[in-house]
Amino acid sequence: MSTRHPQTQLIHPDYQPIDGFQSINPPVYKASTVFFRSVKAMRAHDWRQENSYGYGLDNTPTTLTLAHQIATLEGGAHALLCPSGLSALAVVNLALLKAGDEVLLPDNIYGPNRDMAAGLLAQYGISSRLYDPLQADQLQFSAQTKLLWLEAAGSITLEFPDLCGLIARAKAANVLCALDNTWGAGLAFNAFALGVDVSVHALTKYPSGGGDVLMGSIVTQNRDLHLTLKAAHRQLGIGVAANDVELVLRSLPTLALRYDAHDRSTQQLAEWLQQQPQVAQVLHPRLPHSAGHGYWQQVCGASGRAAGLLSVVLKCPERAQVDRFCDALRLFKIGYSWGGPVSLVMPYDLDTIRPQGADHIRHGGLGHSSLVRLAIGLEQVEDLQQDLAQALATLDMPTIDGSAIDDAN
Ligand SMILES: *Cc1c(COP(=O)(O)O)cnc(C)c1O
């Protein structure tokens, strides 16, 4: 494992160039069939061996280069690549759980992972329970509990969990800890130093950086655990396309610079939004009043990084006004995902995403929540602030029967 700083390592991948031709980016190898030198070599091939090639679905020099880079980035030893972040979450669930087992999920978990637990996992006899990620001492394990999912921070409501407390409780109960590390991206904190067993990363987000690739990774330190996951990965026929891998490899050298730029702009906008009269609350782990801010400080450092997501609760009684705010934004596009150059906005219904409730989140209006998640892109921050200001101004317009009086010009 490399001891270099991630920023340097991401620019200097460990790949062996062919003699006489060395370039910045590694070549793109494509294969379903891989030739063996002899029958003996074919028989000697062992999928458990790293750097051993048997079939394109398992490994190519291109996918191995990216896997090594991601493992190094996250402070782990082994990585598997999956065609999306969600498929990486699925491989972990299917590899580590069996009928009769129980999995624990934070109540602010990435929604599709919760849906998988309530859907496919339940169908296969695996039960699940939601827990409050801010209350480690209330975490309850049963004899059936085999896996604890962690997510830092929650990607919509942005509570930062008591990672150290939760991991300590899981270790004491001999329960595996899997972290959805998409937000931290291997840059905000070192998951393995904290004792996490498995780290899943939606490379779709910051590592791709372009908003045009879907990919996921599963990183481990323990080889036996890696092989358990790799066996499931093989049995499920999971693979990634070489051209997608190429795009992620090309983006990795700028990962840390982009992450810091997202982080800086988000801090500036979070602080500015807090002062706007139309805003009831800003959710962002760096803000002192944000839920789990102390845990964020503990793990990321008081002057650490806090990624590019923030949510705002708008002071408005009508859902139509929230929608109008989102529609009024010009630079912020309405869309899912994050980590690309373009800023994104998405309104969420708190009752749907947090069925157990979230008392620390204010209700901006009458009953229903008016939560809007902003993913801050790489545009000049002053332009983003101006865009937010003009969209917030639409909330001040008078309304008749809850519907806006449109500017008729
Ligand atoms: C986007 C995301 C995923 C899933 O990644 P996809 O590549 O879109 O499937 C998983 N977890 C978190 C926290 C995410 O934001």
Give the pLDDT confidence of 370-380 residue by residue, as tens digits. Answer: 899 999 999 99
Mean of pLDDT values over 262-278: 97
Which amino acids bring their CB within 6 angstroms of ligand 1? 84-86, 110, 155, 180, 182, 202, 204-205, 214, 216, 337
Cα 126 from Cα 91, distance rounded (Å): 14
Query: What is the C-alpha separation between 279 and 314, in angstroms, rounded?
Result: 5
pLDDT score of 184: 98
How confident is the model at residue 131, as a pLDDT? 97
Instruction: Specify the residue for token string 């595996």.
Output: 176
Which residue has better confidence, 349 or 366? 349
DSSP 284: -
**Token pair for residue 2?**
């490399």
**What separation in Å is there between the alpha carbon of 314 and the centre of ligand 1?**
25
User: Which residues are paired to 145 by β-bridges?
Assistant: 102
What is the Å distance from ligand 1's center to 286 Cα?
Answer: 22
Half-sphere exposure of 109 toward its Cβ, with a 13 Å CA cutoff? 27
> What mean pLDDT value characterizes the chain?
92
In this predicted structure, what is the pLDDT of residue 397? Answer: 65
How many whole angstroms separate alpha carbon 302 and alpha carbon 93?
33
pLDDT tens digits for 64-118? 999 999 999 999 999 999 999 999 999 999 999 999 999 999 999 999 999 999 9
Residue among 149, 150, 155, 311 to mutate when testing ligand 1 (max atoms within 8 A of CB): 155
- Ligand 1 centre from 86 Cα, in Å? 6
The owner of tokens 């009024």 is 328
Q: Note the pLDDT tens digit of each residue in 210-230.
A: 999 999 999 999 999 999 999
Hey, whose CA ends up nearest to atom 10 of ligand 1? Answer: 85
Residue 275 has pLDDT above 90, yes or no: yes
Read off the amino acid at residue 110. Answer: Y
Quick: pLDDT tens for 163-203.
999 999 999 999 999 999 999 999 999 999 999 999 999 99
Tens digits of residue pLDDT in 279-332: 999 999 999 999 999 999 999 999 999 999 999 999 987 888 999 999 999 999
Q: Using the predicted structure, report yes or no on whether residue 407 has a pLDDT greater than 60.
A: no
R_g of the chain, CA atoms, integer Å: 22
Residue in 70, 93, 160, 182 to alter for ligand 1 test, most ligand atoms within 8 A of Cβ: 182
Beta bridge partners of 151: 180
What letter does residue 46 receive in the DSSP assignment?
-
Residue with tokens 């590592």, as numbered in its chain: 207
List the Cα angle 313/319/322 in 5-degree steps. Answer: 50
Q: How many CA atoms lie within 13 A of 11 on its CB side?
A: 7
The answer to whether residue 1 scores a pLDDT higher than 70 is no
Q: Following CA atoms 104, 107, 113, 115 in sequence, which dihedral angle do they give, to the nearest 10 degrees?
A: 100
CA–CA separation, 351 vs 110, rounded Å? 15
Ligand 1 atom, smallest distance to 336 CA? 1
Contact 190, 323 (CB under 8 A): no
Q: Give the Å distance between the CA of 63 and the centre of ligand 1.
A: 20
| pLDDT at 405 > cutoff 70 | no
Q: How far is the CA of 327 from the centre of ligand 1 (A)?
A: 24
pLDDT category, 399, cuts 50, 70, 90?
low
d(CA 184, CA 263): 11
Query: How many whole angstroms from 88 Cα to the centroid of ligand 1?
Result: 9
**Which amino acid residue places its CA nearest to atom 5 of ligand 1?**
85
Which pLDDT score, from 0 to 100, does residue 2 have?
Answer: 54
Q: Which residue's CA is minimally distant from atom 4 of ligand 1? A: 85
Q: Which residue has the higher pLDDT, 233 or 398?
A: 233
pLDDT band at 4 (very low <50, low <70, confident <90, very high): confident
> How does pLDDT run across 12-40, given as a tens digit for each residue?
887 777 788 888 888 899 999 999 999 99
